[in-house]
Structures are given as C-alpha cells and as structure tokens.
C-alpha cells in the first residue's frame, strides 16, 4: 500500500486494469451487460475523483509562480518542436512567432512587461484573421498548424503560473504529432523523440521546488523507457488505417519529382539532376545484370510533333488481354515505391504477375486502383526474355502508326527511303540503330533546345545532341514513318546495389525512355536507341555514361567513395525504418497475426489483442514497481556519502551500520588526525543536504556536486 501511495500513476494503472476489461465486455459474445454498466460506473467515479483532485491542485497552482529554470526549459522545448515548422509557415507568421518568443524572453529578464489583456485579445484576433487571409480557411492541415503555432507563441505572453505552463506542455505534445503530418522519416522521428524527452523533462521540473536538468532529464528518460512495452503493443495491434497518416492526403503532389504523364525534349534531363530515391527493390535471388534492369512505367502512344502522351486508353474494335509468353525463368522481387501521386507501379520488364489492388493495361503498365500517395510495397514477377502480344489487335497496330501530318518532313523522307529499299522490318531497325551508332550523335543531359516545330528533324539532322527522350522519340517517329508500329516506353533503367542492405536503389536520375516495335512473329520488342549511342548507359548505368561536365548528383555519380559508403549506410537505415515501421500496413499486420496463429483479424479480435497486450504491459510494470525492481533515481548526496564510506573502509576505517554521520566522522578524526578537517567538513555538508531546510540560494544539486568534489580530493 505504501508503494501505491508513493506512486499515484501506479494506483490509476491498477484501476485501469480493472475498468478496461469491464468496458470491453461487449466484444465477447454472451457477455452480460452488467459488466459494461459496472465498468462505466467505475470509470465515471474515477474521472470524478481525478477532476476533484485537479480542481484542488488548480486552486493551489493559481498562485504558484514558475521558476526561471522551468521557464527556460519550456522555451527550449517549444523551440525544438516549432523549428521544423518554420520552413512550412508563411514568412510573416514565422517572424511573429520569433517576435513573441523574444518578447517572452525579455519579460523573463525583466526588460519588458507582459502585454495587457486587451492587447493580447487584439493580437489573437489579428493573428487568426491573418491565418484566414493567408489560407482562406481556418480548417485543414496548413491553417491548423499555423494557427496552433501562433497561439502557442501568444500563450507564452500570458504565462504566469504552473497551470499556464502545463497547458503549453500539452500543446507542445500535440504540435509534435503535427510534424508527422509532413514527414515520417527517421530523422523526423528522432527529432520528435528528442522533443518529447525535453517536453517531459520540462513538465517534471514544474513539480519540483529546485529543478535541475540532470535529475529531470534522467527521470523523463526512465518514463519513456518504461513506456516502450506499451508503445510496442499499440504499434503491433492497433488497427491500421488505409491511406496517408490521419487520413489526410498530401497536397496534390507538389514538389514531388518523378515520371510524368507526358514526355517532351528536356523532360528527362531535369530528372537527371535529382538524387531522390524513386524505389528500392529486394530480389529473391541474384540481382540481374544492369543491362537487364528496365523498369516499366508509362507508355506513350500519341505524338503531336513535340509532346508524347498516353492518348485515349480505349481502342476501337475488339481487344485482347495482355499476354506475356515467358521464355526465361521469371524473376521474383519486392518493390518499395516512394509516393509519386500517379497510379502507375514500376515493374521489371516484362511483368508476368499483377500485385493485389492493381491491374495491367493493354500495354503492360501496372496501374494501382488509386494514386500512390504513400509509400507502397508490393511483390512482382518478371520474365527477362519473353514474347509479348504476338497476336496484337489491328486497332492497336493502327494506333501505333499515327503521326501528325506535315511535321518532320526530312525524317519522314528518310523513313520512306528505308521502306522503299525493300528491307525487312528487322533490317530497318538495324539500319536506324547503325545511323545512331556510326554518325556523330552525342549523349548528354544538357542538350541544346529544339526551337523548331520540326523537333525530330532538328535533332536528327542539326543538333545531334540529346538525352534518352530525344533518341526514343526520334527512333519511334522513324519506325512509324517506315510503317512499323512503335511506341515510347518510359521508366527507369539500372540501379545501384546497396551492399549494406543487399537491395537495389533506383533514383530519379536513372529515369529512362526507350522504344517498343511490333514485329510479326515476335510481338512487341524492346529497342533502346540510347544504347546504340552510349552503350555504357545501359551496361554500367548513367554515372558511367555522362561526361564530367554534365550535371549529375554526387550520390549518383559516386565520385567520392567515402561519401558513397556513408550514403549506403544512411540509406540502409532509412530503408529498415521504411520496411519495419512505415510499411507496417493492414496487409503486413494481418500477415503478422497469421504468423502468430490468429486467423481472425477483424476489429473485434484486434481490440481484444490490444487490450490484453496493454493490460499485460501495464501489469508487468506495476509488479516490477511493487517489488522495487524498477530503476529509481537515488539521492546523489547518499551516493557520495556511500563512496566516502567505501574509501575509508579500504583504509581500515569501516563504518558501523548504526553509526550516524557525525559519530563516524568523529571516530575517523580521532583515529586519523590528518583526515580530521576534511572528514568533519564532509559530514557537516552531508547532514546539511539531507536533514536541514533547503536554502534557496544554494540548490541541493549544487551542494551535492560540491560534496562529490570534496570526497574525490580526499587522500586516505
């Protein structure tokens, strides 16, 4: 009972172990309703008792001022939570927050007075109006966070008592959560863990007469460590919700790089400057050669002279289901795709399996049922050697021959010459590739702009410098003009194996475009004209094929080995965080429960598991606390005195268990006159710390530090 009285949280936890199962009774079939009534009555009674205690504490707290140490700790905690939002808030609002915090610092240093009540109300109204004018509403993620930030800064200006400080602490906890609405990366999680630790340490300091950071920080760390079992239970068994965090979609995919639903000259050159990760891949067997790593994305059928687009997805006439005939053994892999706010899923060419909640288009593009707004993980299978749609429909073949009339006459004439020469389709393909290979064409991420309306003519006969989209576009136009059905395929080519995690990393800089030509008896055949100009691009990756003068991210180029190794290690840690934490979705939770032998994974079974796990974690903590097994913070003065006793015992002066500090010091002084002044002074200091009233001018922590220094200097 003494343990319960000393630890109010333990008493409330035990009450919770009694009340929660009663409230959860309706989850079990046949459970009497009396249990629910009893649980509700007990919960109401405990809430009433806690509210009465809170009211008494509030009445006492209204006149209890905040110490200077607690004020500085509160400002530091709020700063850690607010700093990540400073880059997201409007500049004027960030400036106001900094101004109000500076005003609070001036009040703490007695340089300024707090604003009067009327001025504070006016500032609240003006700030709310400013947020409304900025966003057009007060609801939603952006205006909500902005309003919360400015209100916290204004609340600092009316901070008078511990009650106001506790309100700010709980607002800081809520502001921690809002950071995860923007980013769920590991650095964000670590920063917010630091913020929670500081905020908790600050709250502990509010309830101490002479708070010291070392003691409050240590106790806050112990509380967070003790909360880990309950946190793990909640993470594993709390029902997962589909969609983005808190059901809030991200804002329209702004500032997200990646493949587009169209392609024009220069579009892929922009992606080459991005080192952002597009997706990561784990293979069940050996990683294929770089030249075989073509990752299929959007396929473009329609060309208007400059822009390639998907065009109409519906073709007139009969359709056939996409058919892949594997010639080689399929390769199994798992993709972790970063959000790109489009529907396509990247798949190794050529996909032979469709992930759940996705479908394959007529051109073998894997399309999710909804835009990819969060990181997704899916399994895939692909044949590296294949035959595709050998019996293509006439409608699709006609669609793959369309060209805008009157454009690129020189290219059309060249293709007509090849067609009139009586060459077979395969020979026409080889003749165009030989032209790219033998004539002075150059592969570069920084080609000259194509200003003419005849973009393909200008590229083939004038500039002859281009990136992958230039070669894929020109080759496809030549094939169509020569009477061969062709289309442009975009995606990624290659990737770098991370030796730390043994998985493939594909970055935005490795975006690529190639062509597919339909040949009788073979179906759609992949032709990469870029490989004719720069074989290294396909065989060794983009870093090996780009000139040192062309812009390419340092992480992709790999010119600094130490930076590359550090990048691999950082990416492996980020990937582990993504796989085990952020990718723990509904499917993975159900798989985890099935591995535990639980076939039923509806909300009732999850609720029972959640309650049982939380009760077990709480009961374990309660038992350890009752038996005194949980680590506690011992008085530093007692630890210092015990060190002195051990030190004197080694010198033959052992203290009796019943001997008080002054009696022991007197006996030591009589036996060792040379130690008398130091030992007597140490005993006096120890008694003062332990048994005399606290001196506001000399905090107990400072006295304990001085005691430790005296004992350390003592030579026995």
- Residues 46 and 52: their CA atoms lie apart, in Å, by 10
Q: 207 catalytic, yes or no?
A: no
- 340: three-class secondary structure by DSSP: coil
Residue closest to 491 by CA, chosen among 256, 268, 265: 268
Annotated catalytic residue, options 85, 454, 512, 571: 512
Q: Are 25 and 12 in contact (CB under 8 A)?
A: no
Taking the CA of residue 517 as centre, how many other CA atoms within 13 Å lie in the half-sphere pointing to its CB?
A: 25
Q: Are 449 and 266 in contact (CB under 8 A)?
A: yes
Annotated catalytic residue, options 457, 528, 550, 571: 528
Q: Are 235 and 582 in contact (CB under 8 A)?
A: no
Q: What is the widest separation between alpha-carbon atoms in the chain?
A: 121
Q: Are 4 and 11 in contact (CB under 8 A)?
A: yes
Tell me how crowded residue 117 is: count the other CB atoms within 10 A of its CB: 9
Q: In Å, how far from its chain's centre is CA 343?
A: 21
**Regarding beta strands 465-466 and 442-443, do their DSSP bridges make them parallel or antiparallel, or are they unpaired?**
parallel
Q: How far is CA 91 from CA 131, 139, 613, 650, 654, in A?
A: 12, 20, 46, 65, 67
Beta carbons within 8 Å of 263's beta carbon, 6+ residues apart = 300, 307, 308, 309, 469, 473, 488, 490, 513
Which DSSP helix (H) or strand (E) runs through 163?
A: helix 162-179
- Residues 628 and 142: their CA atoms lie apart, in Å, by 47
- 547: three-class secondary structure by DSSP: coil
Q: Annotate 552-568 with b (16+ C-beta within 10 A) or e (fewer).
A: bbebbbbeeeeebeebb
Q: Are 154 and 97 in contact (CB under 8 A)?
A: no
Annotated catalytic residue, options 468, 470, 550, 571: 468
Q: 512 catalytic, yes or no?
A: yes
Catalytic residues, which ones?
468, 512, 528
């Amino acid at each position: 009972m003494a343990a319960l009285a000393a630890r109010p949280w333990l008493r409330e936890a035990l009450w919770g172990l009694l009340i929660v199962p009663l409230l959860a009774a309706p989850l079990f079939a046949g459970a009497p309703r009396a249990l629910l009534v009893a649980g509700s009555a007990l919960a109401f009674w405990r809430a009433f008792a806690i509210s009465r205690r809170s009211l008494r504490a509030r009445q006492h707290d209204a006149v209890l001022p905040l110490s200077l140490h607690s004020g500085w700790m509160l400002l530091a905690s709020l700063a850690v939570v607010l700093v990540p939002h400073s880059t997201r808030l409007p500049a004027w609002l960030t400036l106001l927050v900094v101004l109000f915090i500076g005003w609070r610092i001036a009040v703490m240093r007695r340089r300024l007075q707090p604003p009067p009540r009327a001025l504070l109300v006016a500032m609240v109204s003006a700030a709310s109006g400013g947020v409304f004018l900025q966003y057009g509403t007060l609801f939603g993620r952006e205006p909500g966070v902005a309003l919360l930030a400015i209100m916290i800064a204004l609340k600092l200006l009316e901070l008078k008592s511990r009650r106001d400080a506790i309100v700010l602490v709980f607002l800081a906890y809520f502001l921690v959560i809002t950071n995860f609405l923007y980013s769920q990366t590991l650095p964000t999680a670590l920063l917010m863990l630091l913020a929670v630790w500081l905020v908790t340490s600050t709250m502990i300091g509010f309830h101490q007469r002479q708070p010291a950071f070392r003691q409050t920080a240590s106790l806050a760390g112990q509380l967070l460590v003790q909360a880990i079992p309950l946190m793990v239970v909640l993470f594993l068994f709390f029902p997962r919700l589909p969609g983005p965090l808190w059901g809030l979609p991200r804002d329209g995919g702004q500032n997200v790089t990646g493949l587009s639903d169209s392609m024009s000259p220069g579009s892929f050159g922009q992606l080459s400057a991005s080192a952002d990760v597009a997706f990561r891949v784990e293979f069940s067997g050996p990683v294929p050669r770089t030249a075989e790593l073509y990752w299929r994305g959007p396929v473009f059928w329609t060309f208007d002279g400059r822009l390639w687009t998907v065009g109409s997805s519906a073709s007139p006439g009969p359709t056939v289901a996409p058919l892949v005939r594997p010639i080689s053994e399929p390769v199994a892999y798992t993709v972790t795709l970063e959000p790109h706010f489009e529907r396509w899923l990247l798949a190794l060419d050529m996909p032979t399996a469709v992930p759940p909640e996705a479908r394959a288009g007529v051109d073998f593009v894997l399309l999710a049922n909804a835009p990819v707004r969060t990181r997704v993980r899916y399994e895939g299978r692909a044949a590296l050697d294949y035959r595709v749609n050998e019996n293509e429909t006439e409608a699709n073949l006609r669609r793959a021959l369309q060209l805008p009339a009157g454009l690129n006459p020189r290219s059309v004439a060249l293709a007509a010459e090849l067609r009139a020469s009586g060459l077979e389709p395969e020979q026409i393909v080889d003749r165009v590739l030989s032209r790219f290979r033998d004539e002075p064409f150059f592969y570069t991420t920084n080609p000259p702009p194509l200003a003419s309306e005849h973009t393909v003519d200008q590229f083939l006969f004038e500039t002859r410098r281009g990136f992958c989209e230039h070669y894929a576009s020109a080759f496809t136009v030549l094939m169509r003009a020569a009477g061969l059905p062709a289309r442009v395929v975009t995606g990624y080519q290659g990737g770098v194996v991370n030796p730390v995690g043994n998985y493939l990393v594909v970055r935005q800089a490795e975006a690529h475009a190639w062509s597919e030509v339909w040949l009788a008896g073979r179906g759609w055949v992949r032709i990469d004209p870029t490989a004719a100009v720069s074989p290294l691009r396909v065989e060794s990756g983009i870093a090996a094929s780009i000139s040192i003068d062309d812009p390419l991210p340092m992480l992709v180029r790999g010119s600094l080995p130490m930076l590359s190794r550090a990048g691999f290690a950082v990416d492996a840690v980020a990937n582990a965080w993504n796989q085990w934490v952020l990718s723990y979705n509904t499917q993975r939770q159900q798989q985890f429960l099935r591995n535990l032998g639980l076939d039923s994974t509806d909300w009732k079974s999850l609720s029972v598991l959640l309650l049982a796990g939380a009760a077990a974690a709480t009961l374990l903590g309660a038992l350890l606390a009752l038996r005194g097994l949980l680590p506690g913070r011992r008085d530093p003065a007692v630890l210092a005195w015990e060190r002195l006793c051990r030190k004197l015992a080694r010198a033959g002066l052992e203290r009796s268990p019943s001997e008080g500090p002054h009696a022991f010091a007197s006996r030591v002084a009589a036996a060792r006159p040379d130690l008398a002044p130091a030992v007597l002074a140490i005993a006096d200091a120890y008694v003062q710390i332990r048994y005399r009233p606290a001196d506001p001018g000399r905090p107990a922590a400072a006295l304990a530090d001085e005691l430790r220094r005296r004992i350390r200097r003592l030579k026995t």
